[in-house]
Amino acid sequence: MAQDPSLPDPALVVLVGASGAGKSTWAQARFRSAEIVSSDDLRGVVGSGRHDLDASGDAFALLDLIVAGRVRRGLTTVVDTLGLDVVRRREWLDLARAHGLPAVAVGFETPPALCRSRNAARDRPVPARVLTEQLRAFRGLALDAEGWDRVATVTTDEPAAAPVPQGPQTRSPRPRSGLDVVLQVSRFPWGEDPAAWLTGVARAADEAGFAGLALMDHLIQVPQVGTAWEPIPEPWVTLGLLAGLDTGLRLGTLVSPVTFRPPGITAKTVATLDVISGGRAFCGVGAGWWEREHLAFGLPFPPPAERLDLLETAIETMRALWATGTRPYDGQRVVLPETTCYPRPVHDVPVLVGGAGERRTLRIAARLADGCNVPVDVVEEKAAVLRRHCEEAGRDPAEVAVTVLDLPVVGRDRDDVWERVERLRGRTAAATYARRHHAGTPPQHRDRYRVLEERGVHTVFAALPDLGRPEDLLDVAAMLP
Ligand code: CTP
Ligand code: MG
């Protein structure tokens, strides 16, 4: 692309500005990639990735070497770093002088709020206080007084707004074909417009060919997924929004702790969702495990045995209220004077038990549920135990579907897969993270899902750890069998 005609060429161009100010974007739109020497890129060369701060020393040593080599040859060189270090700026300026190359400083006067919002939208944002410090340091600069041949300033415009959703309609559920893959949404990077993001995700999931959309049911974001201050919406309200869209997605939770709501209320909620979605609801239930969210919301958190009792009670109550008629119910754990629950669900709502406890959870699933959700890596052991419990309970194992939760990292190609692993791994070693998340391309996941299907798995709940923009779902469509 063309360089800014007002800048000398060749020249040494030093970018100066806070993270998210748009330095790299500006440079990439104006210079050839070989002309841009970026400390982030060089971290990715000598370190494990662009954000490997431990590799900064080596990256800057390389950067100095490259900049010196190019400037000595009189080649245009753009130094893409924060540029906030006065000693480094002085050295680059002296270098240009020594080789008779014009030296230009480009200051990015991007509004702090825009830097912050861009930073927050990134995969690996810099901590807020670090950014504040950068912005402060930038404000304190007097580039004009440093002796540059030219000082340019860049101010940046806001990017375009998010697309507007269309009006709602509803459709019948997508028919089953072999293995179903349901999108499990566990993080909500919904930016300024939560409803647009949620409906965008649902529409894209439908278009990509997912069989359904499942939500976690937690009151605080769980540490396995994100930070406690990330938004995690109430799932049934959220599913109500999605039920009104023209998709064939099955909609439900994976899973609702029975400690959150009295089971009669869940029965009412799920029946309502089933009616407004045209028979697309499912209901995942579990015993609950996270004490913190219970305490924080003023909910009792009884010991495990009692919670498992509640799980049995909950399934029995829901089934009683969903059954036809309004007669009194006198069951194993539950007695109700009447079962008047209108609207009734319009189809047999599948009840899925989440959890892999072999002694009780799987037994409850075998006796009372339509499916049992277990972690993907232990599916064979757990399915065998579930079958045994079914036989003991006198139930055909085929009536209890085995479903799995999978957390696949999906990338377009080898490079993209690795980039995602590097971005997501946190402090986990890259190889370990990649293995745990079966990191691979869509065809590799599809092959893995075919194997699961052959082993009798009915549904995969796929939670993409880095689901960001709704349209990204179209890129993973090829993983669906
Ligand atoms: N961006 C944008 N519109 C612009 C400039 C940047 O939307 N006019 C976006 C980019 O797409 C990117 C983010 O803002 O997602 C930050 O831009 P970048 O150029 O990467 O910022 P840098 O200043 O280079 O940040 P850093 O120092 O952290 O690399
Ligand atoms: Mg940059």
38 lines ligand 1 (CB under 6 A): no
Whether 16 maps to a domain, the answer reads yes
Distance set, CA 272 to CA 31, 32, 100 (Å):
57, 58, 76
Q: Which residues are within 8 A (CB) of 391 and not within 5 positions of it... i.e. 6 or more apart?
A: 397
Q: What are the distances in angstroms from CA 287 to CA 261, 284, 353, 375, 377? A: 12, 11, 9, 16, 21
Is the Cβ atom of 368 under 6 angstroms away from ligand 1?
no
pLDDT number for residue 174: 66
Domain match, 204 and 85 both: no
- Check whether residue 96 and residue 144 sit in a common domain: yes
Give distance in angstroms: CA of 100 to centre of ligand 1. Answer: 31
Percentage of the chain exceeding pLDDT 90: 88
* Residue 402: CATH number of its domain: 3.20.20.30
The CA 204 to ligand 1 mean position distance, Å, reads 26
Q: Give yes or no for residue 40 CB within 6 A of ligand 1.
A: yes
The predicted-structure confidence for 262-291, as pLDDT tens digits, reads as follows 999 999 999 999 999 999 999 999 999 999
Evaluate whether residue 3 is within a structural domain.
no
Same domain, 241 and 351: yes
Distance from the CA of 63 to the center of ligand 2, in angstroms? 14
Q: Is the bond leading into 10 cis (omega within 30 degrees of zero)?
A: yes
Same domain (yes/no): 278, 142: no
User: Does residue 237 sit within a domain?
Assistant: yes
Using only C-alpha atoms, what is the Rg of the chain? 28
Least trusted range by pLDDT, from 2-6, 192-196, 228-232, 443-447: 2-6
Indicate the pTM of the whole model: 0.64
Do the domain assignments include residue 175?
no
Give the three-class secondary structure for 16: strand
Claim to verify: residue 328 and residue 398 sit in the same structural domain: yes
**Range of the structural domain that residue 276 is part of:** 180-479
What one-letter code names the amino acid at 258? V
Determine the Cα–Cα distance for residues 375 and 26; give it in Å rounded to an integer.
45
Predicted confidence at residue 168, as pLDDT, reads 41
**Taking CA 187 as the corner, what is the angle to CA 161 and CA 311, rounded to the nearest 5 degrees?**
140
Q: Which ligand is nearest to the CA of 159?
A: 1
CA–chain centroid gap for 186, Å, is 6
β 103-108/150-154 pair status: parallel
pLDDT at 176: 65
> Ligand 2 centroid vs 288 CA: distance in angstroms?
43
CA 117, 119, 120, 123 torsion-angle sign: positive
If you average pLDDT over every residue of the chain, what do you get?
A: 93
End-to-end CA distance of the chain: 41
DSSP helix, strand, coil percent of the chain (3-state; round to 5): 40, 15, 40
Question: How many domains is the chain built from?
Answer: 2
Is residue 85 in some structural domain? yes
Cα gap 66→197, rounded to integer Å? 43
Strands 351-354 and 335-336: unpaired
pLDDT in tens, 58-87: 999 999 999 999 999 988 899 999 999 999
Q: Hey, which of 19, 24, 133 would you mutate to test ligand 1's pocket, going by the most ligand atoms within 8 Å of its Cβ?
A: 24
pLDDT, tens digit, for every residue of 103-146?
999 999 999 999 999 999 998 999 999 999 999 999 999 999 99
Please write the tens of the pLDDT for every residue from 361-396: 999 999 999 999 999 999 999 999 999 999 999 999
